[in-house]
Amino acid sequence: MKSTYRDDFKIEGYHFGSGEKTACIVGPMRGDEVQQQYICSQIVRELQAIEAKGGIADGKSILVIPSCNPSSMNVGRRFWAMDGTDINRMFPGYDKGETTQRIAAAVFKSLEGFKYGMQLASFYVPGEFVPHIRMLRTGYEDIKSAELFGMPYVTTREPLPFDTTLLNYNWQIWNTSAFSVYAGQTDSIDVEDSRLATEAVLRFLSGIGAIDYSLTIPGYESLTLNEENLVTLTAHHAGIYVRKRKAGDMVKAGEVLATILHPYDGHVLEEIRCEQDGIVFFSHHRPLVLQNALLYKVVV
Amino acid sequence: MIKTIVNTELPLAERLLVRKNVISHGNGKKRFCIVTGTHGDELEGQMVCYEMARLVQQNIDKLDGTVEIYPSLNPLGIDTIQRGIPNFDLDMNRIFPGSEHGTMAEQTAFRICEDLKGADMVLDIHSSNLYLRESPQVRINVLNEKELVPMAEHLGVDFIWVHDAATVLEATLAHSLNSTGTPCLVVEMGVGQRINHGMCNHLVEGIFNLMKEMGMWTGDVKEMQSGIVCKGDHVEFLNAECSGVFLTELRTGINVTKGQSIGQIVNALTGEILSDVKSPVDGFLFTIRAYPIVYEGSLMARIYHA
Ligand SMILES: [Zn+2]
């Protein structure tokens, strides 16, 4: 697609192997998903090395689209810069519609017919996660296959009305087993979490027999959770947020996970505690909090 | 009487406040709510709220019932010239009916919804966005066509658009209210970040006309023309076939003929016309692009045809 003054907008794909459309991997749709960008680049690098050694299974093909939105990332905008729309809220797309609907339609068409689809995704609430695989409960979700990633957790949740426009939802409706891969954070790169996510994708590809790969990190036996069952901790006060526990940490019942301080005199407005022992699944990580903000999700 | 319906803390020495003005007179039990400002960059509703608050109070003896005015459902958005809610990446009109124990945005949506429930009419005024200029119109979900079209006709807008039910629209304020028995009409008019006095004054007259019809207003009202009611597939969408600068001199609310020029997409570097945009039908132009830069796919116009 041409732009009025910028260089042409292009979405590039990397193909590996040939034959049956086995798996596709989709990178950032939003301009701040740099962690996801980094992971994609690592997956492509590994797959190139595997292919060079003849490690892509006969008759199987893999497609990686490292970015659906280079244009927004280049200007530091999360959404499509011209009109503020979110490509990941435009699926299955419409090739005669608005710009981002057309982009979604083109992406969706190139992904059509793949057996497995993986999206490197981010969450709309600012914070960091324990690496996990997320699925919407559409009735088509494939939990058994999700365990092949060997990520610590697999989560499922009920789709909301708004979710029917997500890639993950539409993939499932159109017979692709869809997984959203969540790797720690979004707007900065954590090399260790990225390595975990890259390995998880390769472990999955090896698990479904698409590649021949010897893993460097052992996988987890995934725990499957309903997101609705996580314990959520919210802020009763707004203020300065000082975090003591982050995603992946074990917490004891009654322990202080974070404090909220008065922004002018520094006295403690609130201590955030979890009533049960557990593991931090999600943690807010901005220095200020609003009243009622979601601070933690804990697996108990 | 000014009432605060949402009151939550922000980090530094400030609270988020959503307020309404409740104006009552007589023994009538009917309640008419005018809400706007869900999208912080849409300002046409500001003048409508001002005129309603002013005129109802000046002619309070003509009121039989209660008028409630909510000029700013998203005060932080209005203050920062943003469509959405600052600190959240979400469009407020995609999180209704909200949740009592959710995030600040979800709780705000929840309290607004609870506060509006039970009204005899809620008018939710939007003004398109920065990109498109709209004729005054009411948009109605086909599920509520029977109850709402007759009410909308009293507002005297150019166009009443009965659209398909879409799952993603289930989280709008209008859908949340209509599906729980509180009638809500969505008005779209004008363009983002600007106020068109003529359109606002006309809508104010339409609101008084509807209030009179509902038995809440005894003052004189102007006779209202009922506009086009559009059901089913009668709208042509003109999307840009290439990127460039869209030039047009047309305004909305006019009839166009098949083959008539709607505008051009030009290249300012080379001086070429890249696309000559023509109407594919005889019809009524109710949307025209206001923001000149277009990408392939950008909407330039919408035309109703019988
Ligand atoms: Zn709006």
Contacts of A240 in chain B (CB under 8 A): 11
CA of A227: how far to CAs of A163, A223, B216, in Å?
A: 15, 12, 48
Whether residue B160 has pLDDT greater than 80: yes
* Tens place of pLDDT per residue across chain A (300 aa): 999 899 999 999 999 999 999 999 999 999 999 999 999 999 999 999 999 999 999 999 999 999 999 999 999 999 999 899 999 999 999 999 999 999 999 999 999 999 999 999 987 777 889 999 999 999 889 999 999 999 999 999 999 888 899 999 999 999 999 999 998 888 889 999 899 999 999 999 999 999 998 877 888 999 999 999 999 999 999 999 999 999 999 999 999 999 999 999 999 999 999 999 999 999 998 999 999 999 999 999
Mean pLDDT of chain B, nearest integer: 96
Handedness of CA A136, A137, A140, A144 (dihedral sign): positive
**In this model, does residue B226 exceed pLDDT 90?**
no
**Ramachandran class of B45: left when φ > 0, alpha when ψ lies in -120 to 50, beta otherwise:** alpha
**A231 touching chain B per CB within 8 A:** no
Sorted by sequence, the CB contacts under 8 Å of residue B86 that are 6+ apart come out as: B76, B77, B80
Whether the predicted pLDDT of B168 surpasses 80: no
Chain B residues with CB within 8 Å of chain A CB: 8-13, 83, 87-90, 94, 101-104, 107, 129, 131, 167-171, 237, 239, 242-245, 267, 293-299
Q: How far is the CA of B93 from the centre of ligand 1 (A)?
A: 8
Q: What is the mean pLDDT of residues B297-305?
A: 97
Residue-wise burial string across A199-219, b where 16 or more C-beta atoms lie within 10 A, e elsewhere:
bbbbbbbbbbebbebeeeeeb
CA of B38 to the centre of ligand 1 (A): 6
Q: Which two tokens mark B36?
A: 């706007």
Q: Residues, chain B, total?
A: 306
A85 in contact with B at a CB cutoff of 8 Å?
Answer: no
A293 contacts B103? CB cut-off 8 A = yes
Triad A294, A296, A297: Cα angle to 5°: 105
Q: Which residues of B touch A82 (CB under 8 A)?
A: 293, 295, 298
**Is B298 in contact with A4 (CB distance < 8 Å)?**
no
- In chain A, residues with a C-beta closer than 8 Å to the C-beta of B169 are 161
Report the amino acid identity of residue A24: C
Q: Give the best residue of B6, B18, B89, B99 to mutate against chain A (max A CB count within 10 A).
A: B89
Question: Could you give the domains of chain B?
Answer: 2-230 (3.40.630.10), 233-304 (2.40.50.100)
Contact check, Cβ <8 Å, B297/A101: yes
Model pLDDT, residue B216 = 98
Rounded Cα gap, residues A260 and B11, in angstroms:
10
pLDDT of residue A135: 93
Residues of B in contact with A165 (CB under 8 A): 168
Quick one: pLDDT at residue A188?
86
- Asked if B295 lies within 8 A of A4 by C-beta distance, the reply is yes
B17 has a pLDDT exceeding 90: yes
Chain A residues touching residue B293 (CB < 8 angstroms):
4, 82
CA distance B91 to B52: 27
Tell me the CA–centroid distance for residue B42 and ligand 1, in Å.
6
* Out of B103, B244, B297, closest to residue A97 by CB: B297
Q: pLDDT tens, B130-139?
A: 999 999 999 9
Which member of B83, B101, B243 has the closest CB to residue A4?
Answer: B243
User: Across the interface, which of B11, B171, B242 has its CB nearest the CB of A239?
Assistant: B11
Any CB–CB contact under 8 A between A44 and chain B? no
Q: Cβ of A160 under 8 Å from any chain B Cβ?
A: yes
For the ranges A160-164, B94-98, B207-211, which has the lowest average pLDDT? A160-164
d(C-alpha B213, C-alpha B120), whole Å: 12
Report the separation in Å between the CA atom of B164 and the middle of ligand 1, taken as the mean of its atom positions.
18
CATH H superfamily, domain A14-226? Zn peptidases (3.40.630.10)
- Sign of torsion, CA B232 B238 B242 B243? negative
**Model pLDDT, residue B188:** 97
Q: Which of B102, B107, B245 sits opposite A4 (nearest CB)?
A: B245
Query: What is the Cα–Cα distance from A179 to B296, expressed in whole angstroms?
Result: 31
pLDDT number for residue B70: 98
CB contact under 8 A, A290 and B87: yes
- What residue ranges of chain A are covered by domains with CATH 3.40.630.10? 14-226
Q: Average pLDDT for residues B83-109, to the nearest whole number?
A: 89
- According to CATH, where is 2.40.50.100 located in chain A? 230-299
Chain B hits for A97, CB-CB cut-off 8 Å, are 237, 239, 297
* Span from the CA of B36 to the centroid of ligand 1 (angstroms): 8
pLDDT in tens, B185-201: 999 999 999 999 999 99
Partner-chain contact A238 B10, CB within 8 Å: yes
Sign for the CA dihedral angle at B185, B191, B193, B194 comes to: negative
pTM: 0.92
Ligand 1 (ion): residues with CB under 5 Å are B 39, 42, 126
Residue B77 has pLDDT above 80, yes or no: yes
Closest C-alpha among A237, A248, A233, A249 to residue A296:
A233
Distance B132 CA to ligand 1 centre (A): 12
Q: Which of A41-45, B56-60, B94-98, B262-266 has the lowest mean pLDDT?
A: B94-98
Fold for the domain defined by A230-299: OB fold (Dihydrolipoamide Acetyltransferase, E2P) (2.40.50)
| Residue the block writes with tokens 């029977």 | B146
User: So what's the pLDDT on residue B286?
Assistant: 97
**pLDDT at B169 > cutoff 90:** no
State the pLDDT at residue A4: 87
CB A222 within 8 A of CB A152: yes
Among the partner residues A1, A240, A290, nearest to B296 by beta-carbon distance:
A1
pLDDT of residue A297: 95
| Smallest CA–CA distance from B102 into chain A, residue | A292
Predicted confidence (pLDDT) per residue in B245-274, tens digit: 999 999 999 999 999 999 999 999 999 999
For A17, A35, A240, the CA distances from A66, given in Å and listed in that order, are: 17, 12, 37
Q: Which residue of B has its CA nearest to A79?
A: B89
Cβ-nearest to A82 among B102, B104, B293 = B293
User: How far apart are the C-alpha atoms of A89 and A91, rounded to whole Å?
Assistant: 6
- pLDDT interval class at B178 (50, 70, 90): very high
Contact B13 A263 (CB under 8 A): yes
